[in-house]
Amino acid sequence: MRGARIVPILLAALLGGCASTQPAGWQSLVDASQWRAVGGSTLDPRWQVRGGELALTEAGGGDIISAGMYGDFELEFEWRLPPGGNSGLFYRAIDVSPVWARAVEYQLLDDREAEDRIVPSHRAGAAYDLIAPARDALRPIGEYNQARILACGPRVEHWLNGVRVAAYDLDSEDWRQRVVASKFALQAQFAKARRGHLALQDHGNAVHLRNMRVRALGRDCS
């Protein structure tokens, strides 16, 4: 994937010097031992790892979180959905339900058929209900899309198929105003954690992920 070829100079340019130290190596997340139910200790059998994929095979598996916690990180994964599909990946999440009330979501959506496509900030690659994708970079339904998230202190970027589609700064007035105008306005703990789990959403349909990996960025990232 594109992120694997990024040299330190380019990453520093994107995130203001995050790559000035040597970060930890990549860790694969396509492993059932790396995930568990929110608030639980095991993984519902409807979430399965097979053929190199982590997949929710049918609705009812519930939201799941990663065993590991991450603060400043780079995450890459490929995802696909069925027609009309909707899901999401949360980051810096707390192990409390509902996950969405406390963590920002990278939206996974079929922008052509899903009911949620009508709202721009609900489309694929968005910071859900906060920042709409800068452009349509989605591939046809059934194909895998490449996602990438860079989190460096308060600065976060969403990438979709090699295009930076969203970026924000948690300490900015722009971000505060977006939260006030969103569904999260009354959620006092929303996006407050600077370190937390990754989480995957059960939105009532199948979702397939592969080549999912994460690495921590250096301590002086911010």
Residue spans per domain, the chain: 2-221
Tokens for 217, please give them.
């960025």
Which parts of the chain sit beneath pLDDT 70?
Answer: 1-24, 219-220, 222
* Predicted pLDDT of residue 157: 98
Whole-angstrom Cα distance, residue 125 to residue 138? 9
Whole-angstrom Cα distance, residue 222 to residue 170? 12
* Predicted pLDDT of residue 142: 86
Q: What are phi and psi of 159, to 5 degrees?
A: -120, 145
Give tens-digit pLDDT for 5-63.
433 333 343 344 444 344 449 999 999 999 999 999 999 999 999 999 999 999 999 99
Q: Classify domain 2-221 at the CATH class level.
A: mainly beta
Inter-residue contact 211 to 141 (CB < 8 Å): no
Whole-angstrom Cα distance, residue 180 to residue 184? 7
